[in-house]
């Protein structure tokens, strides 16, 4: 799915710190015309690209190119990672020498995710650079709730110092590419089983009411086998993954212009009852649905 990051013309990109404690489990598979850079600050994060899962530990610098469909499927409870995106226009202006040709491509020149683990001194330098760009950024709670750019809502990224942000993104892009070239590209992908790939496809297509039995049957596997291999390869259980997809759909339905009531959105998203929805929502967001939505509307 091609995602519109809704960046105003005055911005050459955006940056925000993704925190497990604040960020909703928005895991829809997507790509965008902007080049994306991640720096894992704490914990681990896992992406699925194609038929493989990649897990990245602290100090990993990783690049997601415009044609790379990617899906965040898991992260440790303490995970924090910076996400920065760069518009094609910024890359064209900033990368004129041959040393930066690798940034102009639509796809990485490696099989998978281009990434490296930074030495501690380099990691500290890159992190401090990213920290500086956050000084005039929107409120972290709002940024995390909106996945940085505004998921299915009227939110738009608004930095109080666009000129400073753009200059900083230019510097960050070139700095991180030099760090990537000086490091060593790493592997470590897990090839996903066909039944896991089928389950991901079915769960992403929209029917949140699929039971484990029905899902396993359509994947050509037993319930026990699918449950076990899905958890092993994706890092989360089928139930947790399905509930994350339901929560994403709930917010999508609730935020539509012809907005449904909370209860209507709950059932449209695939939850079996409001009580189940309330329990899952509170566990994930740390607050009640009504309080979350009240803050959501104010922002």
**pLDDT winner (highest mean) among 92-106, 143-157, 261-275:** 92-106
Mean pLDDT of 206-217: 84
Domain boundary among 182, 205, 237: 182
Question: Per the domain annotation, does 140 fall within a domain?
Answer: yes
Residues 51, 191: Cα–Cα separation, whole Å: 6
- Among 182, 213, 246, the domain boundary falls at 182
Between 136 and 258, residue with greater pLDDT: 136
Q: Which of 4-8, 138-142, 166-170 has the lowest mean pLDDT?
A: 138-142
Q: Higher pLDDT residue, 183 or 256?
A: 183
Range of the domain at 237: 192-298
Determine, yes or no, domain membership for 1: no
- The pTM (predicted TM-score) of the whole model is 0.82
Q: What is the domain-level CATH number for residue 66?
A: 2.60.120.280
Average pLDDT, the chain: 89
Average pLDDT over every residue of 286-295? 81
Among 148, 182, 216, which residue terminates a domain? Answer: 182
User: How many CB atoms sit inside 10 A of residue 218's CB?
Assistant: 15
Binned at pLDDT 50, 70 and 90, residue 157 comes out as very high
Higher pLDDT residue, 149 or 34? 34
101/121 same-domain check: yes
Question: Do 117 and 248 belong together in one domain?
Answer: no
SS (H, E, C) the chain: CECCCCCCCCCCEEEEEEECCCCCCCCCCEECCCEEEEEEEECCEEEEECCEEEEECCCEEEEECCCCCEEEEEECCCCEEEEEEECHHHHHHHCCCHHHHHHCCCCCCCCCCEEEECCHHHHHHHHHHHHHHCCCCCCHHHHHHCCCCCCCCCCCCCCCCHHHHHHHHHHHHHHHHHHHHHCCCCCCCEECCHHHHHHHHHHHHCCCCCCHHHHHHHCCCCHHHHHHHHHHHHCCCHHHHHHHHHHHHHHHHHCCCCCCCHHHHHHHCCCCCHHHHHHHHHHHHCCCHHHHHHHHHHC
| Percent with pLDDT over 70 in the chain | 93
Contact 175, 168 (CB under 8 A): no
Whether residue 237 is found in the same domain as residue 255 = yes
pLDDT at residue number 153: 67
Specify whether the CB–CB gap between 169 and 133 falls below 8 A: yes
Is residue 272 pLDDT above 80, yes or no? yes
> Bigger pLDDT: 158 or 23?
158
Report phi then psi at 97, rounded to 5.
-90, 160
């Amino acid at each position: 799915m091609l995602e519109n990051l809704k960046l105003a013309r005055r911005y050459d990109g955006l940056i925000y710190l993704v925190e497990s404690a604040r960020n909703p489990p928005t895991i829809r598979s997507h790509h965008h015309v902007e080049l994306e850079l991640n720096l894992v600050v704490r914990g681990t994060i896992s992406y699925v690209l194609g038929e493989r899962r990649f897990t990245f530990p602290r100090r990993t610098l990783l690049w997601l190119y415009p044609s790379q469909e990617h899906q965040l499927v898991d992260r440790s409870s303490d995970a924090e990672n910076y996400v920065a995106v760069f518009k094609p226009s910024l890359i064209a202006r900033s990368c004129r020498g041959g040393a930066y040709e690798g940034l102009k491509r639509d796809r990485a020149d490696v099989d998978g995710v281009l990434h490296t683990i930074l030495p501690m001194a380099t990691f500290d330098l890159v992190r401090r650079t990213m920290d500086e760009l956050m000084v005039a950024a929107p409120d972290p709670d709002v940024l995390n709730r909106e996945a940085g750019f505004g998921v299915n809502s009227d939110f738009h990224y608004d930095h109080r110092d666009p000129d400073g942000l753009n200059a900083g993104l230019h510097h960050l892009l070139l700095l991180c590419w030099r760090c990537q070239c000086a490091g060593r590209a790493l592997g470590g992908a897990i090839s996903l089983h066909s039944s896991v790939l089928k389950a991901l496809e079915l769960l992403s297509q929209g029917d949140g009411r699929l039971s484990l039995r029905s899902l396993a049957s359509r994947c050509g596997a037993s319930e026990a086998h699918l449950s076990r291999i899905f958890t092993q390869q994706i890092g989360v259980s089928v139930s947790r993954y399905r509930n994350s997809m339901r929560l994403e759909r709930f917010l999508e339905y609730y935020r539509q212009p012809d907005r449904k009531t909370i209860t209507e959105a709950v059932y449209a998203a695939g939850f079996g009852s409001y009580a189940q929805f309330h329990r899952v929502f509170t566990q994930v967001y740390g607050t009640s649905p009504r309080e979350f939505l009240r803050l959501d509307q104010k922002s």
